[in-house]
Structure 1
Amino acid sequence: MKVTVVGSHLCPDTLYALNKLTEAGIEMDFKNLSASLPDLKVYLGLRDTEPMYEKVKAGGGIGIPCFILEDGTKTMDLKDVLK
């Protein structure tokens, strides 16, 4: 399984997730929104269009890390990815 991780190397939750995914042997494509404008564009597209971000935006959160599974499923719950 390969998962796309949208997050930031400045975010402790993202770093934790990257470590856990590495430990589990899961292949990753890391979209680092703090280091790449194209990756930031991917994140903004998600945040602007995905209903799962409504609660995050209402609470003033950022909503990272976000995980995109090979089948297109999107989640912000690491447990869903590690299953």
Structure 2
Amino acid sequence: MKITVVGSHLCPDTLYALCQLRDRNIEVDFKNLSASLPDLKEYLALRQGLDIYEEVRATDGIGIPCFILENGTKTLDLNEILGK
């Protein structure tokens, strides 16, 4: 299983998630929004169009880390990913 993690190396929640995934030998493709403007632009478009970001947008949050599974499923819940 390969998981795309969209986040930032400056975000403690992202760093924690990356460690948890790697500790479980889950292959990770990390999209670091702090280091890549194209990835940031792609993420902002994603964030505007998904219902899972409704609460995040309402509270002016960022909504990272975001996890994208190989089948295209997107979630903000690390426990959901670790339980699969």
* Global fold match (TM > 0.5): yes
Q: Distance in 2 between matches of 1:41 and 1:79?
A: 27
Quick check: 1:81 aligned with 2:81? Answer: yes
Gaps of 5+ in 2: none
Matched pairs, number: 83
Q: Distance in 1 between matches of 2:59 and 2:18?
A: 25
> How far apart are residue 42 of structure 1 and its match?
2.0
Aligned Cα RMSD in Å?
A: 0.7
Q: Deviations over 1:26-56 (max 9, x none)?
A: 0011000010011102211211111111110
4+ aligned runs moved over 6 Å, structure 1: none
Aligned residues: percent identity?
Answer: 70
Instruction: Give runs of aligned pairs for residues 55-74 of structure 1, distance below 5 A.
Output: 55-74=55-74
Instruction: Give runs of aligned pairs for residues 1-83 of structure 1, distance below 5 A.
Output: 1-83=1-83
Gaps of 5+ in 1: none
